[in-house]
Amino acid sequence: MIIAVDGPAASGKGTLATGLARHYGLAHLDTGLLYRAVGLAVRDHVDAPDFEARAIAAARALDAAHLTNIEELTGAEAGMFASRVAVIAKVRVAMRQYQRDFAHQPGGAVLDGRDIGTVVCPDADVKLFIVADSKARMERRARQLEAKGQVVDRYALYHQIEERDARDMANPNGGFYKAPDAVLLDTTQLGIEAALQAAVAIVDEAMAQKARN
């Protein structure tokens, strides 16, 4: 079974994807980490004329060994660099096969990101599109960063999330929209456990419907 989980920044898609993977015994790939790793690899060259070429080369050279520095990869700075390289079509193409191979491994997988249900795995068995209002998302990310000991400027964080969402949604190469066959799950009013229960119910229903057809 392949489950696609997409949604905007800090909507809780990673938490849900992790929970779904555990619930169904599936492998999990946070595809945002791939873009974050490429973003960090070219962070010192954002104003260079060969920025795109460098980002494409970094994407082509990416492998799982580059995804170990989780602390730095999950920081706010890496998120901003990620969304800069994510607009480059050849960066996305370079990482597509890696994601598809992961998805099609024996036993199945859960992938979370922006374009899993639309571009990476349009054939996914179940697609979820996770949303939550901007303030709730900012507050969740703020608490997540504070738990890591970081001092958070909530006003700046709110605008950073809005800026990244806007760039992601406007990205002509991004495929960041709800697939027509994805189920929308709004977690604004749901805690982590309630959101996971709702996601499991959506997956169970989708699989039951598939079995009936």
Residue 138 binds what, of ligand ADP, ligand CDP, none (CB under 5 to 8 Å, by partner type)?
A: none
**Does residue 208 have a known ligand-binding role?**
no
The β-bridge partners of 4 are 111, 127
**Does residue 108 have a known ligand-binding role?**
no
The β-bridge partners of 184 are 129
Cβ(9)–Cβ(78) under 8 Å? no
Rounded Cα–Cα distance for residues 119 and 114 (Å):
9
Nearest CB to ligand ADP, comparing residues 48 and 70: 70
Contact footprint for ligand CDP (CB under 6 A): 9-10, 14, 31-32, 35-36, 79, 82-83, 86, 113-115, 164, 168, 174
Residue 164 binds what, of ligand CDP, ligand ADP, none (CB under 5 to 8 Å, by partner type)?
A: ligand CDP
Q: Which of 28, 36, 114, 140 binds ligand ADP (CB under 6 A)?
A: 140
Count of CB atoms within 10 A of residue 131's CB? 19
Question: Which residues, 3 to 62, sit near ligand ADP by CB under 6 A?
Answer: 7, 9-15
The verdict on 160 binding ligand ADP (CB under 6 A) reads: no
Closest CA to 69 of 40, 112, 109: 40
Q: What angle do CA 91, 93, 98 make, to 5 degrees?
A: 100
Nearest CB to ligand CDP, comparing residues 10 and 199: 10
**Does residue 172 have a known ligand-binding role?**
no
CB of 25 to ligand CDP, least distance (A): 23
Q: Which of 56, 171, 187, 203 binds ligand ADP (CB under 6 A)?
A: 187
Alpha-carbon distances of 146 from 53, 77, 90, 132, 138, rounded to whole Å: 36, 15, 35, 20, 12
Nearest CB to ligand ADP, comparing residues 11 and 59: 11
Cβ(43)–Cβ(128) under 8 Å? no
**Does residue 39 have a known ligand-binding role?**
no
Residue 118 binds what, of ligand CDP, ligand ADP, none (CB under 5 to 8 Å, by partner type)?
A: none
Q: In angstroms, what is the C-alpha Rg of the chain?
A: 17
Residue 160 binds what, of ligand ADP, ligand CDP, none (CB under 5 to 8 Å, by partner type)?
A: none
**Does residue 210 have a known ligand-binding role?**
no
Closest CA to 77 of 164, 12, 155: 164
Rounded Cα–Cα distance for residues 11 and 118 (Å):
18
Point out which residues bind ligand ADP (CB under 6 A).
7, 9-15, 140-141, 144, 187, 190-192, 195
